Amino acid sequence: ETGVTQTPRHLVMGMTNKKSLKCEQHLGHNAMYWYKQSAKKPLELMFVYNFKEQTENNSVPSRFSPECPNSSHLFLHLHTLQPEDSALYLCASSQGTVYGQYFGPGTRLTVT
Amino acid sequence: AQSVTQLGSHVSVSEGALVLLRCNYSSSVPPYLFWYVQYPNQGLQLLLKYTTGATLVKGINGFEAEFKKSETSFHLTKPSAHMSDAAEYFCAVSDPGTGNQFYFGTGTSLTVIP
C-alpha cells in the first residue's frame, strides 16, 4: 500500500451504533488530519495530530472521538451520530506544510 | 488566520478552451500555496504547489499556476480543457513555519462542455 489509505470506503450506520473509521499513512509524515466534507459545504477541518499529539480540535461534537496511537495511524470513533453527520470523511497527512497534504480516498458515511 | 477566496463556485468551459480558476489569499506574508483536484467520491489530489523560487509553477495534467504577490493571487490555468478535467478544484494556503495548519477555499466545480 502506498500513500494514505482509509477503511471502510463506505459505511451505513444507525444513530445508536458505534463504529470506527481507520486511516493509515505510508509516507513517514508527522501530521495527520480528519476533515468532513458535506454536500454544498466547504471542507471542514475536524482534528489535527502532530507526532501523535492532538493540536487542533475545531469544536467537534463529542460523538466524534479521534485516536492517534502512532504517527502512521489515525482513527475516528463514532457513536450516537445524527443524520446531519452523513458526509465524506477525509483523512490527510503532511510533513510540515511545505509539501502540502496527501489525502486518502475518504469514507462515505451515511447515518440512518 | 488566513482566508482563501475562490471566485466562482462553478465554471464551465468548452473542450479545448482555456481553463482559468481564480484564487486569492489574505496573508501579508507570502504563504505556501497549493491547488488540489477532487474527482467524485475520491480524496483530494495535489495538482501543484508554490513555496519559493519561480512564481510560475507547473503541475500534473497540464495545469500551471502563477503566484502574484502584488495581487495576492494564485490562479490556476490550463491552455486547453479536456473532458477528463471536469472535477472540483480547491486552492489552499499555509503559513511557513507555523505548524501544520492549512486553509482551504470553498472549491470551484469545473464543467467541460463537449
| CB contact B107 to A (< 8 Å) | yes
pLDDT in tens, A87-104: 999 999 999 888 899 999
A93 interaction partners in chain B (CB closer than 8 Å): none
CA end-to-end span of chain B: 40
**Predicted confidence band at A1 (pLDDT cuts at 50, 70, 90)?**
low
Q: Is B88 on the interface with A (CB under 8 A)?
A: no
Measured between alpha carbons, how far is B27 from B90 in angstroms, rounded to an integer? 18
Chain A: nearest CA to B95, how far in angstroms?
Answer: 8
Angle at A107 between CA A102 and CA A112, to 5 degrees: 155
Model pLDDT, residue B108: 97
CA angle A54, A96, B110 (to 5 degrees): 100
Only one residue has cell 468551459, namely B13
Strands (E), chain A: 4-7, 10-13, 18-25, 31-37, 44-50, 53-57, 64-70, 73-79, 87-94, 101-103, 107-111
pLDDT of residue B28: 74
> What mean pLDDT comes out for the span A35-39?
93
pLDDT at position B71 is 93
What is residue B27's predicted lDDT score, i.e. its pLDDT? 80
**Which residue of B39, B44, B88 is the best one to mutate when testing the A interface, meaning the one whose CB has the most A CBs within 10 A?**
B44
Distance CA B101, CA A97 (A): 7
- What is the predicted pLDDT for the residue at A52? 79
Cell readout for A110 is: 451515511
Concatenated DSSP letters for B16-52?
Answer: TSPEEE--EE--SS--EEEEEEE-TTS-EEEEEEE-S
Return the pLDDT at A51.
Answer: 83
B positions 18-47 inside 8 Å of A (CB): 32, 34, 36, 41-46
**Which of the two residues, B100 and B64, has the higher pLDDT score?**
B64
Which of B102, B104, B106, B109 best probes binding to A when mutated, by most A CB atoms within 10 angstroms? B102
Cβ partners under 8 Å of residue B92, min gap 6: A100, A101, B4, B33, B34, B35, B36, B102, B103, B104, B105
Chain B contacts of A33, Cβ < 8 Å? 100
What are the pLDDT digits (tens) for B19-38?
Answer: 999 999 998 777 899 999 99
Residues paired with residue A103 on neighbouring β-strands, in sequence order: A92
Task: State pLDDT tens for residues B69-105.
Answer: 999 999 999 999 999 999 999 999 998 877 788 999 9
Q: Residue B97: its pLDDT value, please?
A: 72
Closest alpha carbon to A24 in A67, A79, A85: A67
The mean pLDDT value for B44-57 works out to: 94
CB A37 within 8 A of CB A19: no
Cβ-Cβ contacts under 8 Å, B94 against chain A = 97
Query: Who among B43, B96, B100 is closest to A106 (CB)?
Result: B43
